[in-house]
Chain A
Amino acid sequence: MKALQLHHELTAIWRTEPGWRGHLRSVNHSDIGKRFIVAAFVFFAIGGVLAMLIRAQLATPRSAFVGPEVYNQLFTMHGSIMMFLFAIPMFEGLTMYLLPKMLGARDLAFPRLSALGWWCYLFGGTIIVLAMLAGVAPNAGWFLYPPLSGRTYTPGINSDVWLLGVTFVEISAMCAAIEIAVSILKLRAPGMRLDRMPIFAWYMLATAGMMIFGFPPLILGSILLEVERAFGWPFFDPALGGSPLLWQHLFWLFGHPEVYIIFLPAAGAVSTILPVMARARLLGYGAIIAAIMALAFLSFGLWVHHMFTTGIPHMALGFFSAASALVAVPTAVQIFAWLGTLWSGRPQMKLPMLYLIGFFIVFVLGGLTGVMLAMVPFDAQAHDTAFVTAHLHYVLVGGFVFPMLAAAYYWLPHVTGRQRVMRIGEAAFWLIFIGFNLTFFMMHLTGLLGMPRRIDTYPEGMGWTALNLLSSIGGFLQAFGFALFLIDVVLQIGLGRVHRRNPWGATTLEWAMATPAPAYNFASLATVTDREPLSTQPDLGVRLARGEGLLAVARNGWRETMVIDMTTGAPEHVAILPGNSWLPITTAAMLGGFFLSMLAGLYAVAPLFLPMVAWLGWRWAWTNGYHEDVGPLDAGHGYRLPPSFEAERTTGWWGSVLALGASATLFTALLFGYAFLWTIAPNWPPPRLIAPSLAVPALASAGAALSVVTARQGRIAAALGGQAAIVVALVLLLWWAPAPTGHAYAATSAAIAAYGIFHAGTAMLILAFVAARARAGFHSPARSGEVRIARLWSDHGAAAGAFCAILLVVPGWLA
């Protein structure tokens, strides 16, 4: 009876309100995760239709199915949709749905941030697809190389759709990355030390870290290219000191980690599902974690292998070639750990296992062609041919789509509470598997026979005709296979039999709950003593539902979950999470207004949306915290823990650290661009340098010092004044600097100054917020978390501002 009462009380607190209103206000991680998954599958279907059109065009030589203008939009959109609107959101959705359940928590660290990410993704993706329907889709390739994507050669809004739409969606990816990293580090079941985490969490921790450092270069590149297109700042124009290669560096600095960002979550799913199918423990847990970390680290050191034919010196290529080949080692460690796991147990050929076998075969072949392409001389032949198309589909479909299909069949019972009845999944597998190999195995040969990528027609007599026809037939087989998969899933949701708890006999915590999952996940929180809680405590789910765990209480209408020490897993404090809210959707709508007015060329209107976003952010933060001291809460089992607003280091503090880390990465990429252009680009030195003033760096440094010192003494107004001095100094510097449209030097200098102004301005806003909160009684000696967070932003603004001001006048001094 206790269980039922607890269920009702917790549901009242955690539930999503009924009807449309509830749908728009929901912040629940299960809801948001499922939405991401469904939307990503819809985009996958759209991308798949585009792929079918591409294959229809290439099925025969001299095809007149579509012209080159349409064809260029087709392959650009196919790549962009599959990368940005399918792959990343799909694993984000899977992770948002699963992670808290696997970690034994009730929700993610920043529920409203997930919701904001969802709306940004939906709006951004919609903009991109609507542009395609209007016939103004991006058409410069998913890699958008300038000068082709620049204003001269793509005068329409095609490239702007990509730059603005993808950047809008990228906001969602950055939100998800910070969300996932903080949730894994801090929101776990008590006792879940790092070495007791489910392997999926390790994979996602590495993935989130890679996103935090991998996405900023692309966001920076997109901003620079959009500014070049809109305002004529010549970052990539060689006639004015820019370089088209700068874009390629920034793009692939993101683009290569990106493919591992896509692969790792899928590998995490494999490492989770495969031991269950093999009825064995995962072999080499520690070795796999080491391999994940090595892969994450190495993946940032091999972006140049996408640029082997751009004229980079051979010795430099040798380094990147070696790094690209070495990345095969951590991958091999995982492959053989999985094989060893299968050998340890007695694997059953259930449906998820069948898809995992498809993954093994396809992914290993893709990995081997990857090693081939890492060899510079071979790449010089194969680069930009169908061979590379084949390779990338082998690794991405093999390394992501097959594991996701396995994951779909494995976790569907968890989402729906039902088991499948019809046996369509096997037929779907064979259609997809055979169709896939027919399509892409042929492309290796087509490429070796000299067929380049991205051509809309080809003549007869090249030896490409039969191969292309086979590829097209295979493509359509795959399409039927995916249609069958969809039918199978729909049937399972509608007609499946209700199953017992934990139908696969898994050992991870997400199966220690009723399915479909209740809004609060766990009526009380587990205490974890080993890596496989459900094998040592099979009845854990029932005991948690009876309230025998921690936080088995519904109090004050609070959404409570446990925050632990990062390494030891000891309970630290109780997080009070925010509930349903209008803020995510309204904030996303304002951001959407900004991006749409940029797209429409209304450059006077666009900035008006930013104060709205800032105001909503203010409201957003204002709802946190508490206006009186509460003291420690009873968490059960004798634990008395402070609530999050009286905690030393809140999740918000960790989130700020990661957000600033991402921002610092963007700044580093910008400095790289500045140095790169200075040393590599043609038409340097610039006609006029920034005047070597003393006043500007002195004012900025003084402001920075003032801000850093006074923020520590709690003199918020003085700290705000210091940040204002930085803004004034940098604005003056820009005022006296040469016009940014004249030369890439002036343009990059202006971009650097803009970074400093933005961060000092943000720090001013945050300091003003803290001052207002203090006046409203939200702070006390016990409740000082916000001041600590503000100090992070203020210190970063100070350091960045002073650094920018000094850096920008140095060339003038040296000249």
Chain B
Amino acid sequence: MSTIDPAGPYARSVTGLWWVMLGGAALLSLLVFVLLALAFRRRPDGDGVANPRLWIGWLGLAMPGAVLLPLLGYALVIGARTLPVPAEDAVAIDVVARRYAWDFGYPGGRRTRDVLHIPAGRPVDLEITATDVIHSLWVPRLAGKMDAIPGQTNRLRIEADAPGTYQGECAEYCGTGHGNHGFVVVAHDAAGWAAFIGERAR
């Protein structure tokens, strides 16, 4: 269930973003704490008035600006890469969330409950809605989350690198069963997937 142990390209790009931001945050907080500590060092008599241009202009305005703009660009690019743009090999699966189950419908008409089958190594576009209250579909190791909202359909692209099983959960508070509103994702190899949706394996 860990977001920092990614098992797919979308989750992995966010993990990379996380480590970069953690490094930056560590440096910035170190800077502030050092400046704070140094203010208490013994001085014969105060440094006089600090230079506002340095403190407010450079440190307060320029520095955060210089940090934030590249970060925003980086995050925007990563975000754009996770969008469900048309793709040759993408599989569309529809998802209906309700209290307290997940129903999945596959190409070819097959349906499952609380187990989501996907092909490994191919993008999967989930078309998510809900029938009662708001839920949110989340498979931490594969991608970010997407809300399941009654009356509208949201799309989320997920992908697993390799065959295996992954835990999914409901991330939006949905009532007394919210804590147990999970599901399992099973990623198949090409042959397994073909068998699952009933294509003849060639």
Contact status B82-A377, CB under 8 Å: yes
B40 neighbours in A (Cβ, 8 Å): 342, 347, 349
Contact status A141-B173, CB under 8 Å: yes
Q: Does A336 contact B (CB under 8 A)?
A: yes
- Once bound together, how far apart are the Cα atoms of A452 and B49, in whole Å? 48
Q: Which 9 A-B pairs have the closest CB atoms?
A: A380-B144, A238-B151, A450-B1, A340-B55, A311-B154, A342-B39, A455-B179, A375-B75, A333-B60
A336 neighbours in B (Cβ, 8 Å): 55-56, 59-60
Decide: A682 near B52, CB < 8 A? Known: A346-B43, A357-B36, A454-B178. Answer: no
Contact status A339-B36, CB under 8 Å: yes
- Once bound together, how far apart are the Cα atoms of A314 and B140, in whole Å? 20
Q: Does A629 contact B (CB under 8 A)?
A: no
Contact status A147-B46, CB under 8 Å: no
Decide: A335 near B32, CB < 8 A? Known: A449-B3, A458-B179. Answer: yes
A681 neighbours in B (Cβ, 8 Å): 151
Most A C-beta atoms less than 10 A away, residue of B56, B61, B149, B154: B56
Question: Which residues between 135 and 171 of chain B lie within 8 Å of chain A, taking CB atoms?
Answer: 136, 138, 140, 143-147, 149-152, 154-155, 167, 169-171
Most A C-beta atoms less than 10 A away, residue of B39, B63, B68, B170: B39
* Contact indicator per residue, chain A 672-707, by CB within 8 Å of chain B (1) or not (0): 000000000111000000000000000000000000
Contact status B36-A342, CB under 8 Å: yes
- Once bound together, how far apart are the Cα atoms of A337 and B156, in whole Å? 43
- Once bound together, how far apart are the Cα atoms of A795 and B132, in whole Å? 45
B146 neighbours in A (Cβ, 8 Å): 309, 311, 380
Q: Does A329 contact B (CB under 8 A)?
A: yes
B167 neighbours in A (Cβ, 8 Å): 450
Interface size on A, residues (CB 8 A): 87
- Once bound together, how far apart are the Cα atoms of A357 and B36, in whole Å? 8
A–B complex contacts, Cβ < 8 Å, 30 sampled: A68-B178, A145-B172, A147-B132, A244-B150, A280-B46, A281-B49, A311-B154, A314-B80, A318-B76, A321-B75, A333-B56, A335-B60, A337-B56, A339-B35, A340-B56, A341-B50, A357-B36, A361-B36, A368-B29, A371-B25, A372-B25, A375-B17, A375-B21, A377-B17, A381-B3, A448-B2, A452-B138, A456-B179, A462-B1, A682-B151
B78 neighbours in A (Cβ, 8 Å): 377
Decide: A153 near B59, CB < 8 A? Known: A147-B150, A376-B75, A450-B3. Answer: no
Q: Does A384 contact B (CB under 8 A)?
A: yes
Contact status A382-B55, CB under 8 Å: no
Q: Does B65 contact A (CB under 8 A)?
A: yes
Contact status B72-A321, CB under 8 Å: yes
Decide: A344 near B49, CB < 8 A? Known: A375-B71, A377-B144, A384-B136. Answer: yes
Q: Nearest residue in A to B35 (C-beta to C-beta)?
A: A339
Most A C-beta atoms less than 10 A away, residue of B1, B43, B172: B172
- Once bound together, how far apart are the Cα atoms of A336 and B35, in whole Å? 9
- Once bound together, how far apart are the Cα atoms of A400 and B197, in whole Å? 55
Q: Does A284 contact B (CB under 8 A)?
A: yes
A-B contact count (CB 8 A): 249
- Once bound together, how far apart are the Cα atoms of A450 and B145, in whole Å? 11
Contact status A311-B179, CB under 8 Å: no
Q: Does B134 contact A (CB under 8 A)?
A: yes
Looking at the assembled complex, report how far the CB atom of A135 sits from the nearest CB atom of chain B, in whole angstroms: 15
- Once bound together, how far apart are the Cα atoms of A322 and B65, in whole Å? 11
A238 neighbours in B (Cβ, 8 Å): 150-152
- Once bound together, how far apart are the Cα atoms of A448 and B72, in whole Å? 21
Question: Which residues between 363 and 420 of chain A lie within 8 Å of chain B, taking CB atoms?
Answer: 364-365, 368-369, 371-372, 375-385
Q: Does B28 contact A (CB under 8 A)?
A: yes
B136 neighbours in A (Cβ, 8 Å): 309, 384
- Once bound together, how far apart are the Cα atoms of A372 and B75, in whole Å? 10
Q: Chain A contact residues: over half helix, strand or loop, or mixed?
A: helix
Looking at the assembled complex, report how far the CB atom of A98 sits from the nearest CB atom of chain B, in whole angstroms: 26
Looking at the assembled complex, report how far the CB atom of A117 sits from the nearest CB atom of chain B, in whole angstroms: 32
Q: Nearest residue in A to B144 (C-beta to C-beta)?
A: A380
Contact status A449-B1, CB under 8 Å: yes
A683 neighbours in B (Cβ, 8 Å): 151
Q: Nearest residue in A to B143 (C-beta to C-beta)?
A: A380
B64 touches which of A245, A332, A341, A345 (Cβ 8 Å): A332
Decide: A372 near B21, CB < 8 A? Known: A314-B80, A455-B178. Answer: yes
B48 neighbours in A (Cβ, 8 Å): 344
Contact status A332-B63, CB under 8 Å: yes
B83 neighbours in A (Cβ, 8 Å): 314
Decide: A287 near B56, CB < 8 A? Known: A343-B47, A347-B40, A385-B171. Answer: yes
A377 neighbours in B (Cβ, 8 Å): 13-14, 17, 75, 78-79, 82, 144
- Once bound together, how far apart are the Cα atoms of A593 and B35, in whole Å? 55
Q: Does A453 contact B (CB under 8 A)?
A: yes
* Contact indicator per residue, chain A 141-177, by CB within 8 Å of chain B (1) or not (0): 1000101100011000000000000000000000000
B145 neighbours in A (Cβ, 8 Å): 309, 380-381, 383-384
- Once bound together, how far apart are the Cα atoms of A537 and B81, in whole Å? 64
Q: Does A457 contact B (CB under 8 A)?
A: yes
B50 touches which of A325, A344, A380 (Cβ 8 Å): A344
Question: Which residues between 18 and 47 of chain B lie within 8 Å of chain A, taking CB atoms?
Answer: 18, 21, 25, 28-29, 32-33, 35-36, 38-40, 43, 45-47
Contact status A450-B140, CB under 8 Å: yes
Question: Which residues between 196 and 247 of chain A lie within 8 Å of chain B, taking CB atoms?
Answer: 238-239, 243-245
A339 touches which of B32, B51, B147 (Cβ 8 Å): B32
B54 neighbours in A (Cβ, 8 Å): 340
A369 neighbours in B (Cβ, 8 Å): 25
Q: Nearest residue in A to B57 (C-beta to C-beta)?
A: A287
- Once bound together, how far apart are the Cα atoms of A771 and B35, in whole Å? 65
Q: Nearest residue in B to A364 (C-beta to C-beta)?
A: B32
Q: Does A463 contact B (CB under 8 A)?
A: yes
- Once bound together, how far apart are the Cα atoms of A325 and B73, in whole Å? 11
Contact status B72-A382, CB under 8 Å: no
Contact status A383-B150, CB under 8 Å: no
A344 neighbours in B (Cβ, 8 Å): 46-50
B68 touches which of A140, A325, A339, A451 (Cβ 8 Å): A325
Contact status B29-A245, CB under 8 Å: no
- Once bound together, how far apart are the Cα atoms of A334 and B79, in whole Å? 31
Q: Does A262 contact B (CB under 8 A)?
A: no
- Once bound together, how far apart are the Cα atoms of A317 and B78, in whole Å? 13
- Once bound together, how far apart are the Cα atoms of A452 and B145, in whole Å? 11
Contact status A380-B14, CB under 8 Å: yes
Contact status B32-A153, CB under 8 Å: no
Looking at the assembled complex, report how far the CB atom of A293 sits from the nearest CB atom of chain B, in whole angstroms: 15
Q: Nearest residue in B to A281 (C-beta to C-beta)?
A: B49
A332 touches which of B1, B51, B61 (Cβ 8 Å): B61
Contact status A381-B144, CB under 8 Å: yes
- Once bound together, how far apart are the Cα atoms of A72 and B49, in whole Å? 53
Contact status A310-B149, CB under 8 Å: yes
A311 neighbours in B (Cβ, 8 Å): 146-147, 149, 152, 154-155
- Once bound together, how far apart are the Cα atoms of A317 and B40, in whole Å? 43
B173 touches which of A148, A345, A347 (Cβ 8 Å): A148
Q: Nearest residue in B to A238 (C-beta to C-beta)?
A: B151
Looking at the assembled complex, report how far the CB atom of B88 sits from the nearest CB atom of chain A, in whole angstroms: 21
Decide: A381 near B14, CB < 8 A? Known: A375-B21, A450-B3, A681-B151. Answer: yes
Q: Does B133 contact A (CB under 8 A)?
A: yes
Decide: A280 near B49, CB < 8 A? Known: A148-B133, A309-B146, A377-B17. Answer: yes
Contact status A454-B79, CB under 8 Å: no
Looking at the assembled complex, report how far the CB atom of B96 sits from the nearest CB atom of chain A, in whole angstroms: 14
Contact status B45-A346, CB under 8 Å: yes
Looking at the assembled complex, report how far the CB atom of A277 sits from the nearest CB atom of chain B, in whole angstroms: 11
Beyond contacts A284-B56, A380-B143: 5 other A-B pairs, Cβ-Cβ < 8 A, are: A283-B52, A325-B72, A377-B78, A454-B178, A682-B151
A328 neighbours in B (Cβ, 8 Å): 64, 68
Decide: A69 near B63, CB < 8 A? Known: A283-B52, A336-B56, A377-B17. Answer: no
- Once bound together, how far apart are the Cα atoms of A382 and B3, in whole Å? 8
Q: Nearest residue in A to B171 (C-beta to C-beta)?
A: A384
Decide: A340 near B11, CB < 8 A? Known: A328-B64, A376-B79, A450-B1. Answer: no
Looking at the assembled complex, report how far the CB atom of B127 sits from the nearest CB atom of chain A, in whole angstroms: 11
